[in-house]
Structures are given as structure tokens and as C-alpha cells.
Amino acid sequence: MTWIFGSTKGSADNKIEAAMSELVPEPRQKPAVPMKPVGINSNLLGYIGIDTIIEQMRKKTMKTGFDFNIMVVGQSGLGKSTLVNTLFKSQVSRKSSGWNREEKIPKTVEIKAIGHVIEEGGVKMKLTVIDTPGFGDQINNENCWEPIEKYINEQYEKFLKEEVNIARKKRIPDTRVHCCLYFISPTGHSLRPLDLEFMKHLSKVVNIIPVIAKADTMTLEEKTEFKQRVRKELEVNGIEFYPQKEFDEDLEDKTENDKIRQESMPFAVVGSDKEYQVNGKRILGRKTPWGVIEVENLNHCEFALLRDFVIRTHLQDLKEVTHNIHYETYRAKRLNDNGGLPPVTAETEENHESNL
Amino acid sequence: MSTGLRYKSKLVNPEEKQDHEKQYVGFATLPNQVHRKSVKKGFDFTLMVAERISQTVEILKHTVDIEEKGVKLKLTIVDTPGFGDAVNNTECWKPITDYIDQQFEQYFRDESGLNRKNIQDNRVHCCLYFISPFGHGLRPVDVEFMKALHEKVNIVPLIAKADCLIPSEIRKLKERIREEIDKFGIKVYQFPDCDSDEDEEFKQQDRELKESAPFAVIGSNTVVEAKGQRVRGRLYPWGIVEVENQAHCDFVKLRNMLIRTHMHDLKDVTCDVHYENYRAQCIQQMTSKLTQDNRIESPIPILPLPTPDAETEKLIKMKDEELRRMQEMLQKMQQQMQDQ
């Protein structure tokens, strides 16, 4: 019995998400025609091999890698940079890229994008973290979300221009914001007017995932109450955060996402880039005079839930919703504005800062 | 009350505390801080807290009469919900400065009136300003607020919700805040230097107090069980924060400072500095108005000069002080005569 095509893992995988897990590709010959192993009682004619598309896609993704652009928004000091570093277990935030940690609050909202390539299990991810220093930090914060909305739309515009080109690139570089983490200050009372304003405006153009920052400031009861209150306020204000109800594809999606929307979100998180020894294990945490807060301990905070949600289960979906819904909405609007004609591409593109 | 009188109390020796310690707030030490004669009349102390919660700034007053070991305290807490929470917080401190000015104005009027025996002192003696522990230092709102108020009230800046910070973060934040307070020229309440004849323990405590500012505090209304004892604290999955444990936060330092050692100084500085500033400004405005209107009558029976210069102002202030002291003495003598 010979295997011509790949390893056991290949044909068993059904989800694209597995491409992101730790599979070590074994060196293999280029398959000729995928064949099921010939054995006693097998019916060779019955198997077509459509399911191998998954494996083909996986291989392609591994070769080309993929883009993921995550934006973080919130007042200064809420731990945005630390959280992003903790999420991707690397120093990927603006603050780690040589920016002065003690720099002053800028007078207007700035948009700073830093790119890194992270590799895991043979898969390359070009991660771009978009920071928004200055948001919500002034005395008068009216319309401080406008530069952010403008940036997001500019990325859609860039993509659109590439799409309508006559000679299009095989793979259009994707700088569109796939996910926006909005950091809620853990006051324990309610959302601030600015939180509501921002999310109302931006939930229509980008996937917003609200997180409660520095959750180690609340006891369990306070956390539960606060989360309930925040969920209620978001609902009352008609704010559709990701995963949006209207985009649930089927019952399975709906059930899974309902649970996340109604119970887990907003995730109350704690970030840390320091390791401590607890019970013989090295864990990421914060050491206080009264105990060690373990970042990945679900009894302490919901960081692990956020990480799994954003990276291990919904990463691809975040990109798809961005492309199929937010981008399409933008595109439709642009085409309508232009009388159904594609926009004229005249300017040259700006480039992201990138570590590639 | 003159500034010449220095507080002479010490912190209560920990060994002397007993079971009733938990209810012991400590303002009974106030008598040690002033002349005995004033004790029987009771004290007024007004505390203002500036914190950020909801949407428009309100001023809420809560008054409470407390008595401890025969000393009566009328404590007024002025809360300012809504401060700094709107999208546009331009001049959100105006309701607060207005309130403080109103109290000064009221006192000014009472002082100039005929019946000065029972003036109620509603002036704000202390303003606790809560700085968010989530920032990297002072925020623009913090700076603007403190600059608008530092010449009207004693500002005691605090780092709120300090249990979300680890010790190294608290140290850094305190340093940063101290630097920024200097940089922006904010005049927060300064602890007066203790006398050279105080004992070493007291001087040490005084030093520690000064070095700990701004105090990093945690508050709790719940009692939890920690190491077999019932303490005020916060229960987390990773441990229990004890409010009165000095290794956990500076709450005890704040309480001691506010109530046990510096309550009288806070009142003194309010009277002698902030109120006097207000009064001088007020009078200057009135006199400049006088020269404009050319009117002779005025509610205050002083200042014949149209444009008082610095020398004359000083003289007038001195005379005023003398007058007031004489009035007080007269009152006390009258009281004594009545009591006999």
C-alpha cells in the first residue's frame, strides 16, 4: 500500500483554520494524481478527491502567506500596545519598534502603522498593527474618530483603485483594516459618551471588537456587572460589533456566535510581556503584592478567549467580512457616487512602513 | 486662626490601638492641634472630591456630623459627578470653581456682617483630585483642572484604583506625575515642614509622607476575610487587596494626613492663603469699580484710597487681622462671662 499524496494529516483536515495551527510540513514529492490507498474492499471509482481542495488551499496559503491588519483604538495608557504584543507573542506594537515609550500625547489623533512578518508552522503572516495615539486624550475630543474613519476608507480606496486597474496585480496588497480592537476603560460604571460615538460611527465601516482593558482592576462581580451593562448599552445604541448578527451564515455560526456575543464579549483582558514562575511553570503575568495575575488563566481574565477568537477561530472570517461586506459597501457607494463608473486612478500609492 | 500655631500631634502609637481601632477614624487628635478653647464649639471640615463619572458636571453635597471622644466634626463632602466625562470637556471645571467661589463669597459677606459670632465655615478646605491609574501621567484635563483651582483650594492629588498597578508601575507613575506637576507649575498642597524639635520618629513619618505623594489609593466598602481576619478589601481570584495594608496602598497615609495630622493645616491654608487671595481680588475689583462709578457708599467700611498699592494693601491686611483677632478675643471673653 503506497501513499502517493501527502501525509495523514493532510486529508483529515477540514477547516482552513488548521492552516494556522502548528503543522510541520514534511518534505514530500509533488503529487501526480491524488489517490486513495488501494486496500481490500475499497471502491476506487467512488472517490473523486474534491476534499483535497482544502489541502491545496493550505499549501497555497503556506507558500504565499497572508496579510492581517489589526487596529487598536483607545485612550492612552489602556495597555493597547502590551496587549497586541501579548496576542502575537512578539514585540509588534508601535511602542516596541523604537518609539520612545514616554512620548507625549499628540495634539491630534495620529495613525501609525507598523508591519511585521510572523512565522509559525511554515505559515507566514504579514501582520500590520495600526495604532491611533491621541484618540480620546484631549480636553475636547469632538470628532476625534474622523481621522480613523478616513484612514479606513483610504485603505478601501487603495484596494478599489487596484481592482479597477486594467492591468491588475495578481495579488493585490491588502492594507484594509480587518479588525479594530476598541479599548473600553474599566471604570466599572458604564460606557463613556466617546466610546458610544466612536463605535456608532465605525461599526458601519470596520469590524469592531470591544475589549475591556486592564481588567485586573475589577473583581469578578464587578466584571460581570460591567460586561452586562456594556452589552446592554451597545444594544440600546444599535451598535453592531463583530461578529455581527446579520452576517451569521448558518445556524451553526449563529449558535456559536450568539454564545460569544451574549456571554463572552466584551472580553475583559489583561496584557503582559513579563514572565513569572508559578507552580513550576513559566507564565505571562503581573506580579502584585497580593498575588500573581496570570494572563492566560481563564479564572483571572479573558485574554485567552480573545486570542482564540481573533487568531485561532475567526481570523479568516474577519478578513472575509471585511472584504465581502465592508469593502463591498464602500465600493458600491463609490460606484454609485460616480454614476456607476469606476473611479479614475491617477495618484500613486503611498506605502506602509514595513519590516519586510 | 493664625498660621503661627503648628500642629503638635503625633500619629497614634500602633501599640496603643485596640479592638475599637477599626472604627477609630482619628480626628480626635485634632484638639492637640489647636487651642483647647475652640474645641467645644466644634469644627467644620469640607472635603471636595473631583473624579470623573458621568455626563454633565453636578455638585452634590453630603453633610455628616461625626463625634469622637467628645470632639464634634461637621464633615461636608462635595462630590462632582460628571467631571471630565463628556466628549468635549472644555471648562468642565467651571461649576467647581464657581462653587468654591460661592463659598468664599458667602464667608466674605458673613465676615463683613453685623452678627459674626456664628459664622458657618462652608469654604472648601481640601480637594482630593483623583488621577486615573490608566494613563502615563497627567492628562490634559488633569493639568487644566489643577491650574484652574490651585489658587482657590488645597489640591491633594491621588492615584485612584491603585490595585491595577504593580509596585514598579506605581513608582514610575508617581515620579511622572511629580515631574509634570513641577513642569506645569501646579501648586498642589504642600505638607508643611515639621519643627526641628520633633522627635526622630515623627520626622521619619513626615519624610515618608512627603515622599509618597501623590498617594496611590484603593477604596472599598466591603469587608473580606484575609488570613483569618476581617479587613476592608477587594477580593480577586489571584489574591486579596487590603485597603489598610501599607504594603498594598497608601490609603492609611492619606487618612492619617487628612485627618490625624494635617486637618488643621488644611484649614489654616484655606483661611490664610486661598481665602485671603479671593478677598483681596474681590476688594480690588470693588475699589476699581468704585473709582469708575465715583460712588461713596460701599459695603466694606475700609479702603479710602482709590488705587491701593502694595504697601497700603499689606497695612490694611495687617489691620484687618488685628481687628479680627480682637473680635475673636472679645467673643471668647463674652462667652466666658456668660458661662460664669
The answer to whether B140 contacts A187, with C-beta atoms less than 8 Å apart, is: no
Tell me: the pLDDT tens digits for A175-213? Answer: 999 999 999 999 888 899 999 999 999 999 999 999 999
**Would you tell me which residues 263-322 of chain A have a C-beta closer than 8 angstroms to some C-beta of chain B?**
286-294, 297, 299-300
Residue A76 C-beta-side C-alpha neighbours within 13 Å: 23
Mutation site for A-interface testing, chosen from B87, B170, B222 by largest number of A Cβ within 10 Å: B87
Q: Is the CB of A261 inside 8 Å of chain B's CB atoms?
A: no
Contact B248 A289 (CB under 8 A): yes
**pLDDT recorded at residue B125:** 95
Q: Look up cell 487596484; give the residue.
A: A162
- Chain B CB contacts of A189 under 8 Å are 53-54
B94 touches B81 (CB < 8 A): no
CA atoms within 13 Å, Cβ hemisphere of A343: 19
Task: Give residue A315's pLDDT.
Answer: 94
Residue B238's pLDDT band (cuts 50, 70, 90): very high
Please indicate, yes or no, whether the overall pTM of this predicted structure exceeds 0.80: no
Distance CA A282, CA A73 (A): 30
**Cβ contact A353:A126 at 8 Å:** no
Is B240's CB within 8 Å of A293's CB?
no
Q: Are A300 and A293 in contact (CB under 8 A)?
A: yes
Residue B58 has pLDDT above 70, yes or no: yes
Most confident of A230-244, A268-282, B40-54, B296-310: A230-244
Q: Does A221 touch chain B (CB under 8 A)?
A: no
Chain B residues with CB under 8 Å of A233 CB are none
| pLDDT number for residue B325 | 86
Mutate to test the interface with B, among A82, A101, A219, A274 (most CBs of B within 10 A): A219
Candidates A305, A304, A272, A302; CA nearest to A287 is A272
Residues B41-60, mean pLDDT to the nearest whole number: 64
Q: With an 8 Å Cβ cutoff, are B139 and A217 in contact? A: no
3-state secondary structure of B329: helix
CB A181 within 8 A of CB A78: no
Q: What is the 3-state secondary structure (H, E, C) of B25-41?
A: CCHHHHHHHCCHHHHHH
Model confidence at B2: pLDDT above 70: no
- Min Cα distance B256 → chain A (Å) is 22
pLDDT lower than 70: segments of chain A: 1-45, 96-103, 341-356
pLDDT tens profile A305-344: 999 999 999 999 999 999 999 999 999 999 888 777 666 6
How far are the Cα atoms of A348, B81, B192, B202, B324 from residue B13, in angstroms, in the given order? 76, 37, 22, 11, 38
Nearest CB among A141, A287, A299 relative to B237 is that of: A299
Preferred mutation among A290, A292, A299, A300 to probe B, highest tally of B CBs within 10 A: A290
A20 vs B79, which has greater pLDDT?
Answer: B79
How confident is the model over B304-326, as a mean pLDDT? 72
Nearby residues of A194 by Cβ (< 8 Å), 6 or more positions away: A136, A141, A144, B87
User: A238: phi > 0 → left, psi -120 to 50 → alpha, else beta; which?
Assistant: left
Interface residues from chain B to A (CB-CB < 8 Å): 53-55, 85-90, 132-136, 139-141, 144, 161, 163-164, 166-167, 176, 234-242, 247-248
pLDDT for the residue B31: 44
CA-based nearest distance A201→chain B, Å = 14
Chain A closest CA to B269's CA: distance in Å? Answer: 30
Distance from CA of A180 to the nearest CA of B (A): 20
Q: Tell me how far apart the 2 most distant CA atoms of chain A are, in Å.
A: 77
